[in-house]
Structure 1
Amino acid sequence: MQNNAEHRILLVNDDGIEAPGIKLLENIARRFTDDVWVVAPDEEKSGASHSLSITQPVRVREVGDRRFAIKGTPTDCALLAVYELMTDRRPTMLLSGINRGANLAEDLTYSGTAAAAMEGTLLGIPSVAISQVFVLGGDTHWATSERFLPPLLESLLAWEEWTPGLFVNINFPDVPPEDVRGVRVTTQGQRPPGAFIPERRLDGREVPYYWIRLSYPEGNAHPDTDLEAMLHNQVSVTPMHLNLTAHEARASLARAMPKDLPTGD
């Protein structure tokens, strides 16, 4: 990686360009370089996952110096930034967040925050997804992210082991800074089924509609997981890989496959 002064940092999120998390992230990123770009959705896109806008146009609105609001998904934002808005020099790092809410365990499969980091990784850019965990109805401890992200970011900017297909997922625990109990490099956990459940309601004409209710059951207590780190008020830093192949199942699956497939005769 280059010296910090040579960095060009791209910021994306899924909470929208006016969200407090991306404004905090911009302030933190500017401690390392003045070359900071914000390319984010013009409205909240939480749960957008790694989706692309391929059936409708993607609109770009410049809202300030190196700040662009995108009518599209977080993935669209990363693509527009690299291929249209920053063509003179590619970003040296993509930071996605700071998300207001957890991106732990299976959250990663739904997360627009993680998706932007995934797209950055596919584009060959070292990428980090960043989230501040909070409980619905409670306070968001932005001061925790503000205190502990800078030293983590400094380490990641200097890290020389970025490999193709790798991104990093950071979650800050739902406690004030003085209650944080260190940092742990973790694995991706998994909660039992039931985190996202359709909730039936009736409108004014008694026609049913649904909200997807978030209700996180407790996950596995393996000491290395991101979920366990949160239970101990630790910052979770998880190296993630885009290759989803279950290598340990290949041999067994090959044995289970039919030896010959039927022909079209």
Structure 2
Amino acid sequence: MNVLITNDDGYDSDGIQILGSVLKKAGHTVYMVAPSENRSAISSGITMTRRLDIKNVGDRYWSCSGTPADCIITGLKSNLIEESVDVILSGINDGGNIGTDIIYSGTCAAARQGALYGIPSIALSISFVHGNAEKRTCFERLAQFAAKNLPSLVLLAGKNGCASFVNVNAFSFSSWNGVRLTGSLAVRHYDDSVEIVHKPDGDGMQSLFYGKEPLSSGTQDSDYSVCAEGYISVSGVMVEPVHSELIDGISFSL
């Protein structure tokens, strides 16, 4: 297959470099368009008001000064890649993208953008909070999982005309019990804070975000619960916003 890989940790991060190497060894043609620097938690931001810098960083590998979504748009809508792309893999992310995390995740945003263009797309992430396994080893194991099961992941991601992307998560246990399809997505509860400080030169103020490990809630078949039980979770995530029914009896006037 012709595989386009990207991430939000940056093109030189271990997760994407290991993923690309494993996919190549499995016989796939691998293209990479990935951010030139860390773009974590940037969601689906797209750069529209300035030019992006594209640099060749390896055989069929490019870095891009934009966001993960920019990377997918550049890879699919320019002449950078002259062949058609069969599947997009985003990751492997250094950190989980579970439940509510998906809203903010640049990793998931890249997969969403690919699906919007009709390409089967898969996001891959590992949470390193719940175990002590060595990072590169975990990346290697999840990359092997993706390469071994790529036809099945593509089939899932392509259901209903790529109306959803596939979100794969695992915790950094020394071994995994297996793989489970999830029935729901967890709710993440964030206890974040922001510190406001005066700039040293006295010209205004600055803010600094402090994120904490979120608490999770959900059903037993949620992505978080599946990962916590030692399995790789495989979830389908709708691409388009889903309409919410409004409460009857509310009137408006002009």
Check whether the contact 2:157–2:236 (CA below 8 A) recurs between aligned residues. no
1:167 is the counterpart of 2:151: no
Q: In structure 1, the residue corresponding to 2:114 is in which secondary structure?
A: helix
Structure 1 residue runs of 5 or longer lacking an equivalent are: 1-6
Evaluate the alpha carbon distance shift between residue 226 and residue 159 of structure 1 in structure 2; reply closer, same or farther with a 3 A threshold.
closer
How far apart, CA to CA, are the structure 1 residues paired with 2:144 and 2:82?
A: 33
Shift of 1:157: 3.8
Radius of gyration: which is bigger? 1
1:30 partnered with 2:24: yes
Greater mean deviation of Cα atoms: 74-83 or 218-227: 218-227
- CA change 1:78–1:155 in 2 (3 A) is same
TM-score with structure 1 length normalisation? 0.83
Could you tell me which amino acid in structure 2 is paired with residue 151 of structure 1?
K
| Amino acid aligned to 2:34 | A
Question: Which letter does structure 2 place at the counterpart of 1:197?
Answer: S
Question: Partners in 2 of 1:51 and 1:154 — Cα distance?
Answer: 29
Shift of residue 87 of structure 1? Answer: 5.2
Once the two structures are superposed, what CA deviation does each residue of 1:136-173 show, in whole Å capped at 9, x if it has no partner? 99653334424533333242245585223210000121
**Alignment check: 8 A CA contact 2:102 2:108 kept:** yes
Go from structure 1 to structure 2 and tell me whether the alpha carbon gap of 1:230 and 1:24 turns closer, same or farther (over 3 Å shift).
Answer: same
Does the 8 Å contact 1:184/1:234 carry over to 2?
yes
Q: Percent identity?
A: 28
Determine the structure 1 residue equivalent to 2:53. Answer: 59
- TM-superposed deviation, 1:228: 0.8
Whole-angstrom CA distance in 2 between matches of 1:50 and 1:184: 27
1:125 and 1:54, CA in 2 relative to 1: closer, same or farther beyond 3 A?
A: same
Structure 2 CA distance for aligned equivalents of residues 129 and 220 of structure 1: 22
2:91 corresponds to 1:97: yes
Matched residue of 2:187: which SS? coil
Partner residue, 2:152: 155
Check 1:160–1:231 CA distance in 2 against 1; reply closer, same or farther (3 A cut). closer
When residues 182 and 79 of structure 1 are mapped into structure 2, their CA distance, relative to the original with a 3 A threshold, is same
Report the Cα distance in structure 2 between the residues aligned to 1:30 and 1:19, rounded to whole angstroms. Answer: 17
Q: Normalising to structure 2: TM-score of the pair?
A: 0.87
Mapped partners of 1:113, 1:17: distance in 2: 12
Identify unmatched segments of 5+ residues in structure 2: none
Q: Distance in 2 between matches of 1:154 and 1:123?
A: 19
Tell me if the contact between 1:38 and 1:68 (Cα under 8 Å) persists in the aligned partners: yes
Q: 1:80 to 1:228 in 2, by over 3 A?
A: same
